[in-house]
Amino acid sequence: MSWVQFMCYSELAFMPLLNCLSLWGFAFIPQLCLFNDIPLYPKVSDSSFNIFLIIFVSAILKSLYEVVTTGGQVRTWRNEWRIWMMRSITSYFYGSWDVVLNKLGKKEASFLPTNKVIDDEQVKLYEMGIFDFRTATTFLAPLVTVILVNIAAFVRALVVNVVDNDREGYWEKMFGQMFLSFYILVSNYTVIEGMIIRRDKASIPLYVTLLSGVFSVFILLIGSAILS
């Protein structure tokens, strides 16, 4: 096997794990630092901030270009981007964890088939572009926990910025982390909608939101204890 082939196969083999680790990191680390007033990125006025901005914008434009040039629409790109984030937090995480346990001899690889029966209500929701959250709690809880942690960090940053009247250039120092939290919340507004607005059978159950709330408080407390 050539070196190029090895690199290609390695990318396919480790892609779920790398996506999982990177997305979990971006979903929690900057937010925990934001919650504790710890800047991670350069100030907006700093020229080095442009490096992060270019990387962020180029990644979005690249994926948008790929979708549009293959006949897709902006709505298609938006949904694919959102699904990629959800998949990295849930499916890739559990799949990678399953493989790690299997390689350590702690657990055999498992595969549980999902229900393939066509449901008229599910078809209707799909045609309307509405997410169906009728799935296992193990898949919903991570998504809701990420959203709640981001809401807590973003809201606290806004309150601190307004109450303290932009103390010591707080807005300029924390803009990168605040924007990241805001972007995550906007990109995954369907999860927020499923928690707060919707009351149909396919919405997120209240007990999942409460359970995720406990997880998010625990994460914020642990993060604050470590970073303080």
pLDDT for the residue numbered 219: 95
pLDDT for the residue numbered 95: 82
pLDDT for the residue numbered 110: 64
pLDDT for the residue numbered 114: 63
pLDDT for the residue numbered 116: 61
Please give the Cα distance from 175 to 153 (Å, whole number).
Answer: 12
Please give the Cα distance from 159 to 157 (Å, whole number).
Answer: 5
Helix axis angle, 137-163 relative to 170-187, nearest 10°?
150
On whether the CB atoms of residues 158 and 206 are closer than 8 A, the answer is no
What lies within 8 Å, CB to CB, of 176 at 6+ separation is: 30, 39, 40, 41, 42, 44, 49, 52
DSSP per-residue codes, 102-163 = HHTTSS-----PPP----HHHHHHHHTT-----S-HHHHHHHHHHHHHHHHHHHHHHHHHHH
What lies within 8 Å, CB to CB, of 212 at 6+ separation is: 140, 141, 144, 145, 148
Locate the domains of the chain by residue range. Answer: 15-227
Please give the Cα distance from 93 to 22 (Å, whole number).
Answer: 11
pTM over 0.85: yes
pLDDT for the residue numbered 14: 82
Please give the Cα distance from 181 to 184 (Å, whole number).
Answer: 5
Element housing 2 (H / E): none
pLDDT for the residue numbered 140: 92
pLDDT for the residue numbered 145: 96
pLDDT for the residue numbered 4: 82
pLDDT for the residue numbered 35: 94
pLDDT per residue, tens digit, the chain (228 aa), is 788 888 888 878 788 888 888 999 999 999 999 999 999 999 988 889 999 999 999 989 998 999 889 888 888 888 888 888 888 898 888 888 887 788 777 776 666 666 666 676 776 776 677 788 888 888 999 999 999 999 999 999 998 887 776 566 788 889 999 999 999 999 999 999 999 888 888 889 999 999 999 999 999 999 999 987
